[in-house]
Structure 1
Amino acid sequence: MINRGRYLDGRHAIVTGGGRGIGQAVADALASLGARVTLMGRDVPNVERHAALLRSEHGTDAFAVGCDVTDAESVSAAFGAARTRFGDAHVLVNNAGQAESATFADTTVEMWNRMLAVNLTGQYLCIQEVLPAMLRAKSGRIVNLASTAGLKGYNRVAAYCASKHGVIGLTRALAIETAKHGITVNAVCPGYTDTDMAGLAVKNVMSAFGKDEQEARAMVVRTIPRGSMIQPDEVAHAVAWLCSPDAAAITGQAIAVAGGEVM
């Protein structure tokens, strides 16, 4: 039976990329379950605004701190500040991410390195910050935001697909290492989600097929069996469930939230 109580009451949850889109929805969901939430992001005023909203709407404490997940020193400083504020993390949601588009022939080494740095190495750096305390406590939840692009290939985003496949590999390997320590590690793989990043898919269709924005968006939606884009809160519900006591036996999984696009 699903536990619908405030099962994260007093727990410390860290959400990277927590100021908009999926990250914002995840922070809302975890705060509604009682978590004390640290929101991290490069846009400090934005994460500060959202932290204030969490405090006012959910009656739980929230903390905002600047963090560039591609910079090891920035990550270390941000997680240190989070520990000072709320103690060791019980939950980490690795949400920070970025997408860029180019044909493989036009994918520069700089673009390749950016995609790996933000989407894969950034998750590694953040996990390194929380895992020692989780191992000592023999308890913890790590949820890595991947993508359906980690489960299949898409046109004109080879670097992005490679980085997200890497996230799933990292998730599965770490899940094996930590399974006997009361820690679960899972990946959530959103499909076309109604956020700014979905605009990249629309632009790709516009470029490839010479469509206007409305036509291109309709073409994207037609690839989703349910006939509509995923909403950020739908992704957040999956993340929140993976952080619940009811998901204690779920680890090493890559769960698609994609309206049937990937099965």
Structure 2
Amino acid sequence: MTAVVTGAARGIGRACALTFAEQGADLVLLDVAEDIEGVGYPLGNVSQLEHTAALCEERGAAVLTAVADVRDQAAVEKAVDGALDRFGGIDVLVNCAGVAGPSGKPVHEASPDEWHLMIDIDLSGTWRMVRAVGAVMVRRHSGSIVNIASTAGLVGYRNFSGYVAAKHGVIGLTKAAALDLAPHGVRVNAVCPGSVRDDRELDGLMLSEIARSLGVDVTEHETVFVRDQPGNALVEAWDVARAVLWLATGESRHATGSVVTVDGGFSAR
């Protein structure tokens, strides 16, 4: 099995990469690996991407890394071509690349540039990967695509209009792509994580950034977010990765167009 994972430098992307490596998959790991102007917090870097690769190799995986911005169709296609040159095919695509900012403003105060940046990365970036890898899978008449959405794709959040809109769009894209690709033996599903704890082993920072955008004290943010969790605990990135693995393999062979929540019951309220 060959799996492509975007946003692989850290966080959920790294957890997915390591989980697939432990299952014997070959891996193609993509990340922008630099900061993006307009995103108000540090993004993953080349060192973190290479660290993910090294951890996967320690687990026996053959690994190819690529620095690619999902806003750039040419860079996406170059990375996919590199995957095909190295491994001959792609069985799984996991779309983890995404940002939580720019955010922290009510909808009427968000600028057009902030809106377009969020949509371009979180929604259009996912579409670009689905487009490029989906074409490969159609030719092979098999494959599984898993898009990382969010509970923000199911419910609204104050001061996160761009993020909420993008993640709702990812769910819509998942359902439409599932119907388009089903006749070709390709499945497309989405996972909606809730509040995911920042794991030092994974260099995760997403929850801290969301806390900052909401004006929550970062030193107390885990306690604040737990209050909204019916299960009285934050989700772990590894929980999300195991759900992704299930959707990627034959264990879920009749699941397509599905939206799997891993949120401790948050969206069930």
Give the alignment's TM-score, normalised by structure 2. 0.88
CA contact (8 A) 1:98 1:118 kept: yes
Corresponding position: 1:16 with 2:6:
yes
Q: What does 1:145-224 align with in structure 2 at a 5 Å threshold?
A: 145-195=148-198, 196-205=205-214, 207=215, 212-224=217-229
Q: What does 1:33-52 align with in structure 2 at a 5 Å threshold?
A: 33-43=23-33, 44-52=46-54
Partner Cα distance (2:133, 2:31) in 1: 17
Corresponding letter in the other structure for 2:52: H
Partner Cα distance (2:120, 2:136) in 1: 24
Which residue does the alignment assign to 1:8?
none
Partner Cα distance (1:20, 1:178) in 2: 30
Q: What does 1:89-104 align with in structure 2 at a 5 Å threshold?
A: 89-100=90-101, 101=103, 102-104=105-107
Corresponding position: 1:83 with 2:84:
yes
* 4+ runs deviating over 4 angstroms: none
Q: CA deviation at 1:78?
A: 1.6
CA contact (8 A) 2:197 2:222 kept: no
1:85-113 deviation per Cα after TM superposition (whole angstroms, max 9, x unaligned): 11221100011000122221221111100
Gapped regions of structure 2 (runs ≥ 5) = 34-45, 199-204
Q: Secondary structure at the match of 1:156?
A: coil
Q: CA deviation at 1:215?
A: 4.2
Partner Cα distance (2:66, 2:221) in 1: 37
Q: CA deviation at 1:46?
A: 2.0
Partner Cα distance (1:167, 1:84) in 2: 29
Cα distance 1:42–1:204, how it changes in 2: closer, same or farther (>3 A)?
closer
Q: Percent identity, aligned pairs only?
A: 39
Corresponding letter in the other structure for 1:255: V
CA contact (8 A) 1:201 1:220 kept: no
1:217-253 deviation per Cα after TM superposition (whole angstroms, max 9, x unaligned): 3222110111111111000000000012110100101
Which residue does the alignment assign to 2:56?
54
Query: Would you say how many aligned residue pairs link Structure 1 and Structure 2?
Result: 248
Corresponding letter in the other structure for 2:80: F
Gapped regions of structure 1 (runs ≥ 5) = 1-10
1:35-93 deviation per Cα after TM superposition (whole angstroms, max 9, x unaligned): 1001001223321221122111x112111111100111211222221221112211000
Partner Cα distance (1:150, 1:51) in 2: 30
CA contact (8 A) 1:187 1:252 kept: yes
Give the alignment's TM-score, normalised by structure 1. 0.90
Q: CA deviation at 1:214?
A: 4.0
CA contact (8 A) 1:16 1:39 kept: yes
Q: Secondary structure at the match of 1:262?
A: helix
Corresponding position: 1:28 with 2:18:
yes
Which residue does the alignment assign to 1:227?
232
